[in-house]
Copies of this chain bind each other. A is one copy, B any other.
Amino acid sequence: MEYLEQLLLSHLPDRDETESLKRIADDIIGQINSICLKAKIDAVPIEVGSVSKHTNLKCSDIDIFITFSKEYSTEFIEKKGLEIGHTVLKNGIEKYAEHPYVSGTIDNISVDIVPSFMIEKGQHIVSTVDRTPLHTEYVNNNTDPQKIHDILLLKVFMKLINVYGSEIAVSGFSGYLCEVLIIHFGSFENFIKHMSGLKGKLRVPEDFPEERYREPVIIIDPVDPNRNAGAAVSEENLARLKLASNLYISGNYSLFKDKGEIHENRGTFIKIFTMPRPDIIDDIIYPQAVRLGNKLFKIFSKYGFMPVSSEIYCGKNIQILIEYEREEMPELLIHQGPPVYSSEAIKFINIWQKSEKLLRGPYIMDNRVYVDIKNNTEQFDTLFRREIEKTDIGKNLDEFKNDINVINYKNGMKLEVVEKFYSKYLFS
- B-binding residues in A (CB < 8 A): 196-199, 235-236, 238-240, 242-243, 246-247, 250, 252, 255, 258, 260-261, 263, 266-268, 308-309, 325, 330-332, 334, 339-341, 343, 345-346, 349, 353, 358-369, 372, 374-375, 422, 424-426
B359–A266 CB distance below 8 A? yes
Provide the bound-state CA to CA distance between A252 and B346, in Å: 10
CB-CB nearest 10 A-B residue pairs: A267-B331, A243-B340, A239-B340, A239-B367, A263-B359, A363-B424, A242-B340, A266-B332, A239-B364, A199-B341
Quick check: A364 and B331 within 8 Å, CB to CB? no
Complex CA–CA separation, A343 to B340 (angstroms)? 53
- Which residues of chain B have C-beta atoms less than 8 A from A325's C-beta? 330, 332
Residues of B within 8 A of A236 (CB): 364-366
Given contacts A199-B341, A235-B366, contact A361 B425 (CB under 8 A): yes
Give the Cβ gap from A40 to chain B, nearest Cβ, in Å. 56
Sampled A-B contacts (11; CB under 8 Å): A235-B366, A239-B340, A252-B346, A258-B353, A263-B360, A267-B330, A309-B334, A309-B372, A362-B426, A363-B424, A369-B426
- CB nearest neighbor in B for A197: B341
Q: Which residues of B contact A375 (CB under 8 A)?
A: 267
Chain B residue numbers with a CB within 8 Å of A240 are 340, 364
Given contacts A332-B266, A346-B252, contact A368 B425 (CB under 8 A): no
Which residue in chain B gives the minimum CB-CB distance to A304? Answer: B325
- When C-beta atoms are compared, the residue in chain B nearest to A329 turns out to be B267
**Which of B196, B250, B361, B367 is in CB contact (< 8 Å) with A235?**
B367
Asked if residues B260 and A361 are in contact (CB atoms below 8 Å), the reply is yes
Given the known A-B contacts A250-B346, A339-B199, A340-B243, are A360 and B424 also in contact in the complex, defined by CB atoms under 8 Å?
yes
Give every chain B residue within 8 A of A362 (Cβ-Cβ): 425-426
Give Cα A339 to B239, complex, Å: 8
Instruction: Identify 19 new A-B residue pairs, CB closer than 8 A, beyond the known A239-B366, A267-B374.
Output: A199-B341, A236-B364, A236-B366, A239-B367, A242-B341, A246-B341, A247-B346, A258-B353, A266-B332, A266-B360, A266-B372, A268-B332, A308-B334, A360-B424, A361-B425, A363-B424, A363-B426, A364-B426, A369-B426
Residues from chain B with a CB closer than 8 A to the CB of A196 are 341
Contact of A426 among B198, B239, B250, B349 (CB under 8 A): B349
User: Cα distance A370–B243 when bound, in Å?
Assistant: 13
Instruction: Report whether B360 and A243 are in contact in the complex, using a CB–CB cutoff of 8 Å.
Output: no
A372 CB contacts on chain B under 8 angstroms: 266, 309
Question: In the complex, A240 Cα to B362 Cα: how many Å?
Answer: 12
A258 CA to B361 CA, complexed, in Å: 10
Question: Given the complex, which residues of B lie within 8 Å of A247, measured CB to CB?
Answer: 346
B-chain residues with CB within 8 Å of residue A267 when the two chains form the complex: 330-332, 374-375
In the docked arrangement, what's the CA distance between A365 and B263, Å? Answer: 20
B residues within 8 A CB of A258? 353
- In whole angstroms, what is the CA distance A339 to B263 when docked? 25
B363 touches A425 (CB 8 A): yes
Alpha-carbon gap, A151 to B100, bound state (A): 85
A339 CA / B196 CA spacing, docked (Å): 12
Give which listed residue, B246, B266, B353, contacts A346 with CB less than 8 A.
Answer: B246
* Chain B residues with CB below 8 A from A252, complex form: 346
Q: Whole-angstrom distance between the alpha carbons of A426 and B359 in the complex?
A: 14
Let me know if B331 and A268 touch, CB within 8 A: yes
Say yes or no: A345 contacts B246, CB within 8 Å: yes
Shortest beta-carbon distance, A332 to chain B, in Å?
5
**Residue numbers in B under 8 Å from A266 (CB-CB):** 331-332, 359-360, 372
Chain B residue numbers with a CB within 8 Å of A358 are: 261, 263
Alpha-carbon gap, A197 to B363, bound state (A): 20
The docked-state distance in angstroms from the alpha carbon of A254 to that of B197 is 69
Q: Which residues of B contact A374 (CB under 8 A)?
A: 267
Measured CB to CB, the closest approach of chain B to A290, in angstroms, equals 15
A363: chain B residues at CB < 8 Å are 260, 424-426
